[in-house]
Amino acid sequence: MSTRYAEESFHFVNWKDLSYLLDGSPVQIEVHNLLRNYFLFEKLRPYSPILVGTVPIGINVAGSDLDLICEVTDFNAFEAEMFAAFKQEQHFTIVRRVVAGLERIKVNFTLERWPIEIFAQSIRTTEQNGYRHMVVEARLLALFGHAFRAEIIQLKENGFKTEPAFAKALKLEGDPYLKLLELADWTNEQLLALNVAD
């Protein structure tokens, strides 16, 4: 699997431009074509969409889905647009909730073999936790190399979610989701100081 963008130039990736996927693995190329063929980013463009999660950084496993995050201010309008755009797709659902005082909306459906999840809240996409997690995970994969990547993938294949897998590999204690957000503000030197050896 090609991981050029993740292991050599991850810090140059424009995560908003899906063309980086064309430099990746067959799965990443498949995902690029899927998103283009179904015009997902065109339909979501007013909401600053970003593909996050495991596929962009090349640690997807069987059963991984495609996570797209969006910034929304008018949730009623967004819900109506998502219903009109995707109601015909398999396994379509929309769920709205308020968590920690912030409204969020989650749209799920399936395109071909891929489960799709669109997650929206009134926070800039580059400041949402899903994006921040992905960027620091890309940095960690680049800094610690192939063996670390293989360990993360193995943990995920054994049933770990992504952030808990990173926390276990890095021997981080406490809430793995909060710990990864803390690491997002660390320098490369600080990250390299983490003990990942057995």
Residue 198 placed within a domain: no
Task: Give me the pLDDT at residue 12, please.
Answer: 66
Q: What CA–CA distance (Å, rounded) separates 77 from 182?
A: 34
Q: Which residues pair with 17 in a beta bridge?
A: none
Choose one of 126, 143, 171: the last residue of a domain. Answer: 126
Provide, rounded to the nearest whole percent, the portion of the chain with pLDDT above 70: 92
Task: Locate 164 and state its tokens.
Answer: 């808990």
Do 20 and 103 lie in one domain? The reply is yes
Maximum C-alpha span of the chain? 51
Residue 197 placed within a domain: no
Do 36 and 117 lie in one domain? The reply is yes
Distances 24 to 56, 125, 137, 156 between C-alpha atoms, Å:
9, 23, 17, 20
- List pLDDT tens digits, range 138-181: 999 999 999 999 999 999 999 999 999 999 999 999 999 999 99
Indicate the number of domains in the chain.
2
Do 25 and 113 lie in one domain? The reply is yes
Pick from 91, 60, 64, 92: nearest CA to 79? 92
Do 43 and 69 lie in one domain? The reply is yes
pTM: 0.90
HSE on the CB side for 65, CA within 13 Å?
Answer: 14
Distances 28 to 22, 33, 121 between C-alpha atoms, Å:
7, 9, 26
Do 36 and 79 lie in one domain? The reply is yes
Q: What CA–CA distance (Å, rounded) separates 104 from 120?
A: 6
Secondary structure class of 146 (helix, strand, coil): helix
Residue 97 placed within a domain: yes
Question: Residue 40's domain is classified under what CATH number?
Answer: 3.30.460
Do 105 and 182 lie in one domain? The reply is no
- List pLDDT tens digits, range 72-105: 999 999 999 999 999 999 999 999 999 989 999 9
Choose one of 75, 92, 126: the last residue of a domain. Answer: 126
Do 69 and 164 lie in one domain? The reply is no
Task: Give me the pLDDT at residue 58, please.
Answer: 95
Residue 53 placed within a domain: yes
Do 166 and 121 lie in one domain? The reply is no
Q: What angle do CA 93, 156, 143 make, to 5 degrees?
A: 115
- Owning domain of residue 68: 4-126
Do 82 and 108 lie in one domain? The reply is yes
Choose one of 76, 91, 126: the last residue of a domain. Answer: 126
Q: What CA–CA distance (Å, rounded) separates 24 from 99?
A: 35
- What would the mean pLDDT of 114-138 be, rounded to a whole number? 96
